[in-house]
C-alpha cells in the first residue's frame, strides 16, 4: 500500500493499493483514476505518486528473493536458473 494525501483543507492521509491505479494526471491538481473508474484528487505531485509506486513494487520484489540473492548497491545479482533438470555434475578427474 502507498500513502497519499487527499486534496483538501486537512489533506488527510489514506492508503491505496497501487495495483488499483489506472492513470495519474496533473490537471493542475493530481487526479488518480482507479480501475473502478473512481477519481481521487490528491495533494501529492504525480512524480511523488510514481516514486511511491516504484518503492512499493521494489520492496515487494526484494522481499520475494531469498536473502542470498537480494540486490546490493553494486547492481543486480546474476543467479543461475533451473529448468526442472537435475544439475550438471563436473567431470571427475
Looking at residue 23, the DSSP 8-state letter turns out to be E
- List beta partners, residue 4: 14
The per-residue pLDDT of the chain, averaged, comes to 83
Spatial separation of the C-alpha atoms in residues 24 and 35, rounded to whole Å: 12
For each of the chain's 93 residues, which pLDDT tens digit applies?
A: 999 999 987 889 999 999 999 999 999 999 999 999 999 999 999 999 999 999 999 999 888 877 766 555 556 555 666 555 555 555 555
Contact 60, 67 (CB under 8 A): no
pTM of the model: 0.68
**pLDDT at position 7, please?**
93
Q: Which of 62, 25, 17, 20 is nearest to 47 (CA)?
A: 25
Amino acid at each position: 500500500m502507498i500513502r497519499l494525501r487527499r486534496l483538501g483543507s486537512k489533506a488527510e492521509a489514506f492508503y491505496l493499493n497501487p495495483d488499483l491505479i489506472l492513470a495519474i494526471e496533473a490537471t493542475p491538481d493530481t487526479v488518480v483514476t482507479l480501475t473502478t473508474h473512481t477519481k481521487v484528487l490528491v495533494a501529492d505531485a504525480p512524480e511523488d505518486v510514481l516514486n511511491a509506486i516504484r518503492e512499493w513494487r521494489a520492496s515487494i520484489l526484494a522481499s520475494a528473493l531469498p536473502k542470498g540473492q537480494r540486490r546490493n548497491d553494486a547492481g543486480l545479482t546474476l543467479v543461475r536458473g533451473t529448468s526442472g533438470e537435475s544439475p550438471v555434475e563436473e567431470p571427475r578427474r
